[in-house]
Amino acid sequence: MRPTGSDSTPVSADPGILAGLAELLGPGRLLSGSAAEPFLVDHRQLYHGRCLAVVQPRAAEEVARLLGFCNEHRLGVVPQGGNTGYCGGATPDESGTQIVVSLARLNRIRQVDPLNYSLIAEAGCILADVQRAADQAERFFPLSLGSEGSCQIGGNLSTNAGGVNVLRYGMMRELVLGLEVALADGRLLTSLASLRKDNTGYDVKSLFLGAEGTLGIITAASLKLFPRIRSSATAFAAIAEPRAAVQLLALLREASGDRISSFELVPRIAIELTTRHIPGVRDPLDAPHPWYVLCELTSSRAADPLDPMLTECLGGALQDGLVLDAALARSERERATFWKLRETIPEAQRLDGASLKHDISVPIVAIPEFIERAGAWVRDNVPDGRLVAYGHLGDGNLHFNLNQAPGAARASFLARSETVKRAIHDLVRDFAGSISAEHGIGRLKVGELERYTQPAELDLMRALKRTLDPNGILNPGKVLRPDADSIRERPTE
Ligand code: FAD
Ligand code: 2HG
Ligand code: ZN
């Protein structure tokens, strides 16, 4: 479903409401008309919403007051960070009655504490700025995504973002020590003590991580830092099939003393797409191969012999026939070129035509069989599509995407999206996997979450939502369906 209509004119621009909001936030912090337009379309352009206004608070207390006001007036509130999300979670619906809360102006780094290995950042800080602040303090903040130049910490926390260092450091959830959150009733929950241990009752902060703005608005977070990376070794290795990648990962973990931080699977077609569409990307190897892995070892010790470690391990794998060819990055520049190839796959996919995307995970060991079975289904059933399956193999997370084949008609290819999604997601369920590994649910996958989540878990999610947001003002229609009737309409499993 692709809603239309991008007119941002408020449907019921109640002057009392707008005046109340303006009074609450002060002059110049309310956008409407054309100034609101950029906030009404999601990154993938799947949704075009409307809104009553876009508001730009500057302080956590303002966000809390704003929510109190919206709760009183039963106004839907849509938090928006960098708007790079993949599931339409930050886009208002088409009613024109919702308020978009842009967190961009809450962008102070409040504290960097190198000895405590922690940093407190406001929700609107750009991820790359947080990485830089850590680096300047001789520390490392490991979350790393292709969108890190524009996504925000609040969005990362609210989607529980993953990226390319999860294998070593975990997802965003695992990088959090404390949170500050504005609640639907207008209170500010402050828990930024940066503690490593705290077992005082339930872990309330964890509720807001990955909640996509449906349970509260995150205004700041205390984040874990790590020793700064002082040496790395990066290789681009060709393999015959994904099974070899799983074996190589196990070997590398052992041989490197678990210094492996990234292990990405790349198919041949991704090389073709990126070299065709992205300037500066080239194939690191001389001859084409069916599959590749991009792997990286890192260490906080400058003298760690990572290059010899990686060379020796890949050399052995070459001898055993597990690896077909490999290139080791000989400079920082070459390392950046390898990563550019990997990180621009989504952009190359976009430039090549329409795509159908599935952000799935299965146990790492099951990835080869999943690719075999789902790939066979695609070959047999989607003649006008080409499989572009890549991603974070080290985390069992694949972007099992399809691109419109050359010469295929865009509309008829896109018309297959429901059938393709059903087949792939049903197979994911058969593998005891997840239909939402790192990109979240947003609006796009509300039905999928209902379909594949066990009833007891879904009931708990709904109970949490009712408790934390009894009037349903927080990001309505995202993650969970807003109307109570849908509870009865839940599809039978
Ligand atoms: P937005 O898109 O603005 O919002 C996302 C959701 O969070 C929405 O539901 C929104 O309402 C909510 N939200 C935002 N801020 C707050 C807040 N302060 N409080 C409460 N709710 C809030 N994702 C990955 O996980 N791994 C990847 O490797 C990855 N690579 C990407 C590469 C590219 C090129 C692009 C475009 C995207 C990629 N993403 C990836 C997806 C996306 O960047 C992440 O989901 C990111 O965490 C979203 O952050 P954002 O600030 O843009 O959030
Ligand atoms: C990545 O890993 C992102 O590059 C985006 O998560 C994946 O576009 C996609 O499907
Ligand atoms: Zn990803």
Q: What is the pLDDT along the chain (493 residues), one digit of tens a residue?
A: 333 333 333 344 577 899 999 999 988 899 999 999 999 999 999 999 999 999 999 999 999 999 999 999 999 999 999 999 999 999 999 999 999 999 999 999 999 999 999 999 999 999 999 999 999 999 999 999 999 999 999 999 999 999 999 999 999 999 999 999 999 999 999 999 999 999 999 999 999 999 999 999 999 999 999 999 999 999 999 999 999 999 999 999 999 999 999 999 999 999 999 999 999 999 999 999 999 999 999 999 999 999 999 999 999 999 999 999 999 999 999 999 999 999 999 999 999 999 999 999 999 999 999 999 999 999 999 999 999 999 999 999 999 999 999 999 999 999 999 999 999 999 999 999 999 999 999 999 999 999 999 999 999 999 999 999 999 999 999 999 986 543 333 333 2
What pLDDT score was predicted for residue 384?
Answer: 97
**Which residue segments constitute the domains of the chain, with CATH numbers given?**
109-227 (3.30.465.10), 231-345 (3.30.70.2190), 353-448 (3.30.70.2740)
What pLDDT score was predicted for residue 483?
Answer: 63
CA-based nearest residue to 179, from 158, 161, 201, 149: 158
What pLDDT score was predicted for residue 257?
Answer: 92
| Residue to mutate, 87, 343, 399, ligand 2, most ligand atoms under 8 Å from C-beta | 399
What pLDDT score was predicted for residue 484?
Answer: 54
Q: What CA–CA distances, in Å, run from 462 to 159, 169, 371, 480?
A: 18, 30, 34, 7
Residue burial 118-150, b: 16+ Cβ < 10 Å; e: rest: bbbbbbbbbbbbbbebbeebebbbbbbbbbbee
Is 82 close to ligand 1, i.e. is its CB under 6 Å away?
yes
Q: Contact, 106 vs 63, CB < 8 A?
A: yes
Ligand 2 atom closest to 343 (CA): 4
Say how far apart CA 280 and CA 37 lie, in whole Å. 33
What pLDDT score was predicted for residue 13?
Answer: 58
Strands 231-239 and 291-299, by their bridges, are antiparallel
Q: How far is the CA of 262 from the centre of ligand 3 (A)?
A: 12
Q: How far is the CA of 54 from the centre of ligand 1 (A)?
A: 18
Question: In this structure, which ligand is nearest to the CA of 80?
Answer: 1
Is 442 close to ligand 1, i.e. is its CB under 6 Å away?
yes
Say how far apart CA 381 and CA 404 lie, in whole Å. 13
Is 346 close to ligand 1, i.e. is its CB under 6 Å away?
yes
Residue nearest to atom 38 of ligand 1 (CA): 147
What pLDDT score was predicted for residue 279?
Answer: 98
Q: Contact, 393 vs 242, CB < 8 A?
A: yes
Q: How far is the CA of 85 from the centre of ligand 1 (A)?
A: 4
Q: Cβ atoms within 10 A of the Cβ of 490, count?
A: 15
Backbone region of residue 328 per phi and psi (left: phi > 0; alpha: psi in -120 to 50; beta: other values): beta
pTM (predicted TM-score): 0.95
30 exposure class (CB count in 10 Å sphere: 0-12, 13-18, 19+): buried
Question: In this structure, which ligand is nearest to the CA of 161?
Answer: 1
Instruction: Walk across the sheet containing 217-224 and list its strands.
Output: 109-113, 118-122, 217-224, 176-182, 188-191
Say how far apart CA 473 and CA 471 lie, in whole Å. 6
What pLDDT score was predicted for residue 14?
Answer: 72
What pLDDT score was predicted for residue 11?
Answer: 42
